[in-house]
């Protein structure tokens, strides 16, 4: 007997089979559009993914391997990710701002033997100890001779589609939905960055499931970085639903609406300062003349309401973090300011005191989460069992975020636990000990 929160099938949530499905069902439809004007159909995406995967195999990559991607949002970054998952390998993106000891520590933590790196970033590698594992670096968008590892040009991975020599045995025998899809590093703003292991199921539960309003004709604007869960989850959701994506390097206030109109974007995500920046644009007669139908925005405040009203937008708000699975989501244009929404089906959330006891409505405590579906949250912190055990104590994931809730089951973010002096878990005052960044 099947249940609503069983693990999704391999064909429903694993990247390789999904790309193959859309290449088979709508090969000529546009799948990806990049800032430089490159457009790839679903057939192109499959061909380029298989070709890059074949080249990765020739560089020694196989199922289960970790590979670093240190690139801005571009076609090579997306194809690096897709090819790795097609092989059953693990995509490990890094923040393009990393340098020095932080960069060194995360490279060594990753256990990656291969990195794909943009030429503008590569010189930073000469200034640090890369450790014993990293052996090869593929440099894209230029040249850079590295001193401590073998350096390869972009043609080692990218070029005209050619999957000759691709070993299908690995592709056919791997890729269980519970396997790691990627490792994303936490921000490290309150302690050392941790490496969050995310399965295919977690990514499905985080994006594809709550964004069930998406259909194949939708087009998503990706302006969040691919080393951030916001960027990766939106692309993964598009692949699940067969949507197309427009991938740009970053958010631009003045280019936002021109891009929306040029590419007929129907869905995107606005975080933090994006909303007030857009509100500062001068009002225009065509403010409501656009294709945008669905917006996920955080936080839900006066600025968000004003933007929704000015442009006639249907906006939802939510709470998520790298380790979680969009546990809270609102209805369209919710009435209560500051809400993060309500728990989604199959997800339990509580606000608790220092002993993990539930606190009454209106009382501030720590938000903790668990789910009905296996593998739908993080699979722990890579090579950090102590932090994993602390975060997952008593069978619940401890977010390290201070929340309150009301009688209607709306949840409200208050602060980071470590920044509050109210009664909060003594073991969780530092977010680096609570499992959240």
Contacts 24+ apart (CB under 8 A), 216-219: 216/26, 216/29, 216/241, 216/242, 216/243, 217/243, 217/266, 218/243, 218/244, 218/266, 218/267, 218/293, 218/294, 219/243, 219/244, 219/245, 219/246, 219/263, 219/264, 219/265, 219/266, 219/267, 219/291
How crowded is residue 235: how many other Cβ atoms within 10 Å of its Cβ?
Answer: 24
> What was the pLDDT predicted at 432?
30
CATH 3.40.50.980 spans which residues of the chain? 10-177
pLDDT bracket for residue 418 (50, 70, 90): low
Average pLDDT over residues 309-329: 98
Structure tokens of 143? 């040249």
Assess whether pLDDT exceeds 70 at residue 216.
Answer: yes
CATH 3.40.50.12780 spans which residues of the chain? 208-434
Q: Over the chain, what is the mean pLDDT?
A: 92
> What was the pLDDT predicted at 430?
32
* Cα gap 411→349, rounded to integer Å: 9
pLDDT bracket for residue 366 (50, 70, 90): very high
Q: Where are the beta strands (DSSP E) in 200-335?
A: 219-222, 244-247, 267-271, 294-298, 315-316, 318-319, 328-329
Tens-digit pLDDT profile for residues 13-50: 999 999 999 999 999 999 999 999 999 999 999 999 99
Instruction: Break the chain down into helix, strand, coil percent, rounded to 5.
Output: 30, 25, 45
> What was the pLDDT predicted at 303?
97
Q: Which residues contact 437 (CB under 8 A, 6 or more apart)?
A: 186, 187, 188, 189, 190, 191, 193, 194, 321, 322, 431
Percent above pLDDT 90 for the chain:
88
* Cα gap 132→302, rounded to integer Å: 51
> What was the pLDDT predicted at 3?
76
Q: Where are the beta strands (DSSP E) in 315-390?
A: 315-316, 318-319, 328-329, 339-343, 347-352, 365-371
Omega of the bond prior to 299 within 30 degrees of 0, cis? yes
- CATH code, 10-177: 3.40.50.980
* Cα gap 403→152, rounded to integer Å: 48
Tens-digit pLDDT profile for residues 116-173: 999 999 999 999 999 999 999 999 999 998 999 999 999 999 998 776 666 665 555 4
- CATH code, 208-434: 3.40.50.12780
Assess whether pLDDT exceeds 50 at residue 427.
Answer: no
What CA dihedral angle connects 381, 199, 431 and 226, to 10 degrees? Answer: 110
pLDDT bracket for residue 192 (50, 70, 90): confident
């Amino acid at each position: 007997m099947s249940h609503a929160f069983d693990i999704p099938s391999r064909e429903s949530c694993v990247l390789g089979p999904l790309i193959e499905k859309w290449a088979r069902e709508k090969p000529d439809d546009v799948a990806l559009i990049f800032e430089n004007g490159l457009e790839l159909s679903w057939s192109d995406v499959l061909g380029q993914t298989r070709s890059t995967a074949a080249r990765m195999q020739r560089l020694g990559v196989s199922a289960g391997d970790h590979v670093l991607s240190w690139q801005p949002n571009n076609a090579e970054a997306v194809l690096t990710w897709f090819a790795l998952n097609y092989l059953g390998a693990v995509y490990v993106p890094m923040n393009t701002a990393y340098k020095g000891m932080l960069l060194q520590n995360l490279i060594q933590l990753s256990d990656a033997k291969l990195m794909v790196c943009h030429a503008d970033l590569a010189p930073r590698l000469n200034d640090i100890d890369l450790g014993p594992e990293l052996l090869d670096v593929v440099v894209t968008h230029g040249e850079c001779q590295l001193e401590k590892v073998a350096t390869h040009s972009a043609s080692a991975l990218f070029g005209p589609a050619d999957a000759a020599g691709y070993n299908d045995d690995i592709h056919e025998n791997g890729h269980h939905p519970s396997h790691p899809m990627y490792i994303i590093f936490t921000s490290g703003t309150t302690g050392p960055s941790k490496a969050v292991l995310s399965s295919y199921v977690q990514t499905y539960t985080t994006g594809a499931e709550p964004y069930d309003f998406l259909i194949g004709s939708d087009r998503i604007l990706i302006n969040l970085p691919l080393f951030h869960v916001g960027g990766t989850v939106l692309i993964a959701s598009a692949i699940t639903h067969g949507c197309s994506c427009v991938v740009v390097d970053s958010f631009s206030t003045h280019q936002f609406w021109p891009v929306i109109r040029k590419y007929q974007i129907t869905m995107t995500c606005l975080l933090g300062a994006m909303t007030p920046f857009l509100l500062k644009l001068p009002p225009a007669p065509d403010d409501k003349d656009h294709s945008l139908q669905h917006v996920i925005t955080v936080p839900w405040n006066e600025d968000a309401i004003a933007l929704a009203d000015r442009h006639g937008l249907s906006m939802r708000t939510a709470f998520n973090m790298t380790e979680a699975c969009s546990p809270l989501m609102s209805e369209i244009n919710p009435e209560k300011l500051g809400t993060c929404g309500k728990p989604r089906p199959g997800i339990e959330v509580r606000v608790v005191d220092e002993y993990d006891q539930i606190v009454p409505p209106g009382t501030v405590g720590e938000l903790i989460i668990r789910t009905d579906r296996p593998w739908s949250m993080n699979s722990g912190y890579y090579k950090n069992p102590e932090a994993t055990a602390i975060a997952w104590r008593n069978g619940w994931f401890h977010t390290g975020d201070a929340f309150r809730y009301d009688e209607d089951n709306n949840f409200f973010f208050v602060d980071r636990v470590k920044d509050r002096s109210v009664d909060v878990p003594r073991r969780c005052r530092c977010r680096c000990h609570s499992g959240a960044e």
